[in-house]
Amino acid sequence: MLNLRKLFWCLFPFALGILIGFLSTQYTLFTIKYEVDIVPSFFSVLTILIGVYIAVVIQKNISDKRVQKDIFIERLVELKEATNKIDDEINSSRRFNELNAMFKNFSSKLSILESLLSHARISKFNTDLAKLKANLLTYKRAATGAVASNNVFTYSPAELIKLNRARLEILKKIDIFILDINTI
């Protein structure tokens, strides 16, 4: 059943073409020329080739870039989630090993993103990456450079303000990064 349908749709355009050709020759309005004009034919072939080029090469590039963008954005969203998890820990238990592990996780994710960008040979985000790395270090220093006791970090009100500022700066940089990625 499926094969018959496929066959029909393969043959139908040919049959339609033959019918249109036949009907057009029945009217004096249409005449068939038996010589070929080189210049218009050349432009027709050129137009077809450009059409094929756009369809095959450019469309593929656009689609590849979209896939790349989606992967980078997905990674950046993961970084935002990692930042929020760190913030949750800072605002609740402030456990020493958990916070260190969370920063390690964030740092690993960021280095994977850097590898992906370099693998895709996209260097225009080097500035965004460098800024994000610097912000990560500021945030990590503020969070894990504090005094610890009984496997828990303790923060003064001033340190908490610094931490919040560093977190917001990271979130802002990630959003800018996402916007920049959307421009490629």
Annotate each residue in 65-84 with x if it binds another protein (CB under 8 A) or - if it does not, as one string. --------------------
Tell the smallest beta-carbon distance from residue 3 to another protein (Å). Answer: 55
Q: Which of 96, 116, 122, 169 binds another protein (CB under 8 A)?
A: 96
- Which residues from 131-160 bind another protein, rule CB under 8 A? 133, 136-137, 140-141, 143-151
- State which residue, 3 or 149, has the beta carbon closest to another protein: 149
Burial class of residue 8 in the structure, from the number of CB atoms within 10 Å of its CB (0-12 exposed, 13-18 middle, 19+ buried): exposed
Residue with tokens 């960008």: 117
R_g of the chain computed on alpha carbons: 31
- State which residue, 69 or 144, has the beta carbon closest to another protein: 144
Query: CA 144, CA 16: separation in Å to the nearest integer?
Result: 75
Q: Which of 79, 86, 102, 117 binds another protein (CB under 8 A)?
A: 102
Query: CA 136, CA 42: separation in Å to the nearest integer?
Result: 59
Task: Give the interface segment with another protein, choosing from 18-26, 68-76, 129-137, 165-173 (CB under 8 A).
Answer: 129-137
Rounded to 5 degrees, φ, ψ at 161 are -65, -40
Site membership for another protein, residue 111 (CB under 8 A): yes
- Count CB neighbours of 40 within 10 A: 9
- Which tokens in the block code for residue 44? 């027709």
Site membership for another protein, residue 108 (CB under 8 A): yes
- State which residue, 72 or 103, has the beta carbon closest to another protein: 103
CA distances 150 to 20, 39, 89, 90, 178, Å, are 88, 86, 16, 15, 39
- State which residue, 72 or 135, has the beta carbon closest to another protein: 135
Give the binding site for another protein (CB under 8 A): 96-97, 99-105, 107-108, 110-111, 133, 136-137, 140-141, 143-151
